[in-house]
Amino acid sequence: MSDRLLVLVRHGQSEWNLKNLFTGWKDPDLTEQGIAEARDAGRKLKAQGLKFDIAFTSVLTRAQHTLDLLLAEIGQTGLSTKKDLALNERDYGDLSGLNKDDARKRWGEEQVHVWRRSYDVPPPGGESLKDTLARALPYYVQEILPGVLRGERTLVAAHGNSLRALIMVLEKLSPEGILKRELATGVPIIYRLNADSTVASKLDLAA
């Protein structure tokens, strides 16, 4: 039987995570802590004895840098990697680059909370979580999942909201359930799938 392995990891802490800014499609790099988180993720995967056949990431620096650092730790620098904006973070539109506290002062606590935590209400000029799922899910189904089911050991380094899209399908979560799901930076989640693409086992490598 093939080892239908899929590992998801959110990028390490970015410079804008640290500054409490809405990031979205803006392109800050990792902080020192984020670099350490990415390396630690690689060490955790190495300790599990895992190797990969292919990797996927977004077109944003923080996800690509996380992937590079992680692969260096497991000795797989140069692994075949596909980059696609389908895996980009949710686009926060007019909120991008704003401090979250400043946004609350401008639009009000309740409105900003709705934009951040509702399933289908987008911020001005941006995407809702539902919109993010609408671009990430087809990419998962068409580009990532078939390889996993063929036995290609697959690593995806991406973002909190684009990974939520994949997790929603994998774990059969409702819109309400996925909103409550928090993803820590730099923590790999290891899934092994059944032949019908359902989850056979899940291991979260949080410390």
Which active-site residues does the annotation give? 11, 89
The single-letter DSSP state of residue 20 is T
The secondary structure element, H or E, covering residue 36 is helix 32-47
Facing residues of 155 across strands?
7, 55
Q: Give the closest residue to 164 by CA, choosing from 153, 152, 175, 148.
A: 175
- Spatial distance between the Cα atoms of 31 and 13, rounded to a whole number of angstroms: 6
The token pair that represents 74 in the structure block: 């497991």
Query: Do 147 and 54 form a contact (C-beta atoms < 8 A)?
Result: yes
| Cα dist from 106 to 17, 24, 56, 95, 99, whole Å | 20, 19, 37, 10, 11
Q: Going by DSSP bridges, is the β-strand pair 5-10/189-193 parallel, antiparallel, or unpaired?
A: antiparallel
Place of tokens 């500054």: 19
Amino acid (one-letter) located at 165: A
